[in-house]
């Protein structure tokens, strides 16, 4: 059986890569994450189903505005498997995003999820950039009730376009979508990326790189 699977993969390598890239379908009613387990799997080990309670499937607080008093003027309140163990193996997550007037959810990537983004209050500029070599910027101003999709792995962002606060809900196609904020990753890595590398990559003076790294 295993040999046959290997042969099929060799004949259709791309298809196998696509198939194996996604979270496996559940093989039972649920697999509530045991966040205390030392077992290391693609996801979390399952909690004993006899010990599962309603609270394992419950999260409270998305009605509470996030604290946007920060340099970018936004706050993400995630609901991933880390906050809601019942999401384990289900392949979904969500988040609330709050924005100050003109606040920004900075350019970032979800390496494991596509996202559908819905505006609850306010007006937001939403956009993403296609991959190399086109690097095409696709943007749309969204209003209350509008939805917009960010494809998996592409750099995307939002900006509040109004003088009042804005709120949105994001739904993501992974229990643990991950987030790579571009500025934090590039200029705030630990240890730091060599100034010479970043200066050449961004085609700027080394002093500018030093200044940017000092902020993260």
Greater confidence (106 vs 29) lies with 106
List Cβ neighbours of 190 (8 Å cut-off, separation of 6 or more): none
Q: Where in the chain is the domain with CATH 2.60.120.10?
A: 21-178
How high is the pLDDT of residue 99? 98
Is the pLDDT at 25 greater than 80? The verdict is no
Residues in the chain: 216
Number of neighbouring beta carbons within 10 Å of residue 103: 21
CA 7 to chain centre: 35
- What does DSSP assign to residue 33? B
How high is the pLDDT of residue 24? 60
How high is the pLDDT of residue 8? 43
Q: Which of 216, 193, 189, 195 is nearest to 207 (CA)?
A: 195
List, as residue ranges, the binding site for Mn(2+).
Answer: 108, 110, 115, 156
Predicted TM-score of the model (pTM): 0.85
On whether the CB atoms of residues 187 and 215 are closer than 8 A, the answer is yes
Instruction: Give percent of the chain above pLDDT 70.
Output: 88
Greater confidence (113 vs 28) lies with 113
What is the rounded radius of gyration, in angstroms, for the C-alpha atoms of the chain?
20
Overall fold of domain 21-178 = Jelly Rolls (2.60.120)
List, as residue ranges, the binding site for oxalate.
Answer: 105, 110, 115
On whether the CB atoms of residues 117 and 168 are closer than 8 A, the answer is yes
List, as residue ranges, the binding site.
Answer: 105, 108, 110, 115, 156
First-to-last C-alpha distance (Å) of the chain: 51
The token pair at 182 is 């571009």
pLDDT tens-digit map of 36-59:
998 878 889 999 999 999 999 999
pLDDT tens-digit map of 152-199:
999 999 999 989 999 999 999 999 999 999 999 999 999 999 999 999
The token pair at 63 is 């009605």
The token pair at 98 is 């709050």
Q: What angle do CA 133, 148, 153 make, to 5 degrees?
A: 40
List Cβ neighbours of 215 (8 Å cut-off, separation of 6 or more): 187
pLDDT tens-digit map of 110-162:
999 999 999 999 999 999 999 999 999 999 999 999 999 999 999 999 999 98
pLDDT tens-digit map of 89-107:
999 999 999 999 999 999 9
How high is the pLDDT of residue 42? 81
């Amino acid at each position: 059986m295993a040999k046959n699977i290997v042969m099929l993969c060799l004949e259709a390598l791309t298809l196998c890569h696509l198939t194996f890239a996604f979270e496996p379908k559940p093989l039972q009613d649920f697999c509530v994450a045991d966040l205390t387990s030392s077992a290391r799997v693609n996801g979390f080990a399952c909690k004993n189903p006899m010990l599962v309670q309603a609270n394992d499937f419950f999260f409270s607080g998305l009605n509470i505005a996030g604290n946007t008093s920060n340099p970018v003027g936004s706050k993400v309140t995630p609901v991933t498997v880390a906050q809601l163990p019942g999401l384990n193996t289900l392949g979904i997550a969500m988040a609330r995003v709050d924005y100050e007037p003109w606040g920004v959810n900075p350019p970032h990537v979800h390496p494991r999820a596509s996202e559908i983004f819905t505006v609850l209050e306010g007006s937001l500029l939403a956009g993403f950039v296609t991959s190399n070599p086109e690097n095409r910027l696709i943007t749309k101003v969204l209003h209350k009730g509008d939805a917009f999709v960010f494809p998996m792995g592409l750099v995307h962002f939002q900006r509040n376009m109004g003088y009042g606060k804005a709120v949105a809900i994001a739904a993501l196609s992974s229990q643990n979508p991950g987030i790579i904020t571009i500025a934090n990753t590039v200029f705030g890595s630990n240890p730091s990326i060599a100034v010479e590398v970043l200066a050449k990559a961004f085609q700027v003076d080394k002093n500018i790189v030093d200044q940017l790294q000092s902020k993260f």
